Amino acid sequence: MEIQQFQVQPYQQAQNQALKSYHPIPMVFSKAKDVHVWDPEGRKYLDFLSAYSAVNQGHCHEKILNALSQQAQQLTLSSRAFHNDKFPIFAQHLTSMFGYEMILPMNTGAEGVETALKLARKWGYEKKHIPKNEVIVPPKGYLQSVRELCSKYNVLMIADEIQTGIGRTGKLLACEWESVRPDVVILGKALGGGVLPVSAVLADKDIMLCIKPGEHGSTFGGNPLASAVAIAALEIVEEEKLAERAAEMGQVFRSQFLDIQKAYPHIIKEVRGQGLLNAVELNAKGLSTVSAFDICQSLKERGVLAKPTHGTIIRFSPPLTIRLKDLTEASKAFKDVLEHDLANMQRQSEGNDPHSPPEPCDRCGRIK
């Protein structure tokens, strides 16, 4: 079958042929390096989304690409039916780095969640003798309260650290901010350094060994190519002290945006976050008929890429390698949008209905 050469814009082509499960900013990535992205026309942008934390180490990190290239020329897949010489190194590095006894490798974050839930059910059947198909949901609360409740009632605490882990919040795991050690941790995204999908579930032997051989499999889980890339990705986090950097740069980011909030208190409702996972919540009344998506569109024109979530909230989560000058450039761009662009956007959107039903978040589907 001959592949047709489409003349239509890439994002228009994607809309025609792919399910619209996201609401993307109309901008096409052509090249990326560290914290910068270029479109096909050669325009340079600061990336403040970093593929939802998949590129904590920065786009196309040389060490990760070298690991990928070298391993791809030797061995890419063995399946779990055989051993390979890279997975044991990856397993040892990951368990020692995060302080757990065992690892179950998967490929994507979604697989990691599925695996953790399966593990929790198996543990419940074997360790607590829970009848199968019974669902027990622990009470909601703060992480420390959840830990205490789970320990008190012998319920597994599972932490989904797919986006928040591997240095994003200024600690290796976000749970560490409350000195909490979950029973099960799910990792993904930055584990593959933005190069390959890699995920893993971490737990100690008493939990992990509830799954017996033949009860759970992943053909590509722990493959040598992914293992080599993951080893490099973890080493970068350690060698470049990315968690510490995220904590430091995150404080700078929030300080700069809090200064902007003081100048525009009717527009910015709240600036919040931890490390380099931050959000700016806008005041819907102050925005009038302008949306957070419109603000992101205007930011894009000023060379900064960010994404709205839940209607009036803009997420800012750049690669952890970002520098002070980049943060300053981004905060200036945001201030310029409010100072120079917002009034014009409000005039242009005067005919829009400010009370129209909000669109669901393209990450979680929740409507706020």
Q: Between 306 and 121, name the one with better pLDDT.
A: 306
Mean pLDDT computed over 117-135: 78
Q: Between 256 and 30, name the one with better pLDDT.
A: 256
Out of 210-214, 270-274, 354-358, pick the least confident.
354-358
Query: Checking DSSP bridges between strand 158-160 and strand 277-282, what pairing results, if any?
Result: unpaired
Q: Each residue of 32-49: pLDDT tens digit?
A: 999 999 999 999 999 999
Q: Each residue of 48-87: pLDDT tens digit?
A: 999 888 899 999 999 999 999 999 899 887 877 678 999 9
Q: Each residue of 158-184: pLDDT tens digit?
A: 999 999 999 999 999 999 998 999 999
Taking the complete model, does pTM exceed 0.75, yes or no? yes
Query: For residue 7, what pLDDT band results from cuts at 50, 70 and 90?
Result: very low
Out of 54-58, 222-226, 294-298, 358-362, pick the least confident.
358-362
Q: Each residue of 288-330: pLDDT tens digit?
A: 889 999 999 999 999 999 988 877 999 999 999 999 999 999 9
